[in-house]
Every structure is written in structure tokens, then in C-alpha cells.
Amino acid sequence: MTGDDAQLQRLRFLARVVQRESKHLLTTDRRVFAKPFTQDRAKALADDVELAERVEAFAARFGRLQDTLGDKLIPALLRALGEPVGAAIDNLDRAERLGWLPSSEQWLIVRRLRNQMVHDYIEDPAILASALQMAHMQVPMLIEASRALLEELDRRGWGSP
């Protein structure tokens, strides 16, 4: 590691956060998608408070895990390795080349899904239903990226103690 103890502590903190966020996302994913999320289910959100809370939790956890990985852990790990840290797309491309992400392009598509879930659902239940189903299909990619990054940290002795 090219940095100091603070850098190591930051990596360990982020590893713990990613472990927790991955676990919570998987739990919420199972609860929301026990059956397909259809346009009718999206329309029912106005009256089904429990479902609405689960959907909110899913969208928040999905976005939070992606943010933690892409905006925090990847740059911190690159920095610790002495790699250049640049614009998000450059960091994602580097993470792909290092085998931590399957595709930086897929990552950006998932980012757009996150934005749709957060911003567009109030106006159009069809967009929400589609975005949620597509996000659900991308959860394995986020979990796999989490696993790959955590394994990289562990391999180097930088994971949570």
C-alpha cells in the first residue's frame, strides 16, 4: 500500500460497509421480487404502504451499494495500489481491466436505472416497473463486483480485520 494507516482504515471501513450493504440489498431484493414487479404492482404503491416501503428500500440500497463501490471503494483501492484515480468512467474502465467489474458500460447502464427508480416513478408506473425489473436483474452483477473487490482487499491483507 502506498498510503498510511488512515488509508488502510478507510479501506477496511468501506469493506465493512460493502458487506453490510450487499447483505441488505439481497434481503430486500428477495422481498420485493418474490413475484415479478409489474405495472399493476407499481400502480398499487399509492395504497400499499408496505410494498412502497420495500420498493423505496430496494431503490435506496441498490443505489447506495453502487455509489459505495463506484464512487468510494474503487477509487480508494486504486489509490492504495498507486494507480491513477481520475474521472468515474476512467476508474470504472480500470476496475474492469483489473477484473473487479464485468463491464464499465454495464455499470453506467445500471447507474441510469438507479436514476429512473429514484426520479421517474411518481409520473409513470410503467417506467418504474421496467426499471425495477431491470435493476433486479442487475443485482447479481453488483453482488459479484462487491465480492471481487472484497476478495482483492482480503488478498492484500486490507480487508476488514
Per-residue pLDDT of 15-52, as tens digits, reads 999 999 999 999 999 999 999 999 999 999 989 999 99
CA 123/CA 148 separation, integer angstroms: 37
pLDDT at 101: 95
Residue 147, pLDDT above cutoff 90: yes
d(Cα 75, Cα 44) in Å, to the nearest integer? 40
Statement: residue 117 has pLDDT above 90: no
Dist CA 30 CA 146 (whole Å): 18
Question: Whose grid coordinates read 409520473?
Answer: 123
User: Average pLDDT in the 83-93 region?
Assistant: 95
- Going by pLDDT thresholds of 50, 70 and 90, the confidence category of residue 122 is low
| CA 95 centroid distance within chain | 14
Contact at 8 Å (CB) between 131 and 123? no
Which of 2-6, 62-66, 128-132, 148-152 is the least confident region?
A: 2-6
Contact between 67 and 13 under an 8 Å Cβ cutoff? The reply is no
pLDDT grade, residue 4 (50/70/90)? Answer: confident
CB atoms within 10 A of CB 31: 14
Task: Write down the domain spans for the chain.
Answer: 5-155
Q: Which residue, chain included where needed, has cell 440489498?
A: 25
Residue 119 is predicted with a pLDDT of 65
pLDDT average, residue stretch 126-146: 94
This prediction has a pTM of 0.92
| 1 has a pLDDT exceeding 60 | no
pLDDT at 56 over 70: yes
Query: What percent helix, strand, coil does the chain show, rounded to 5?
Result: 80, 0, 20
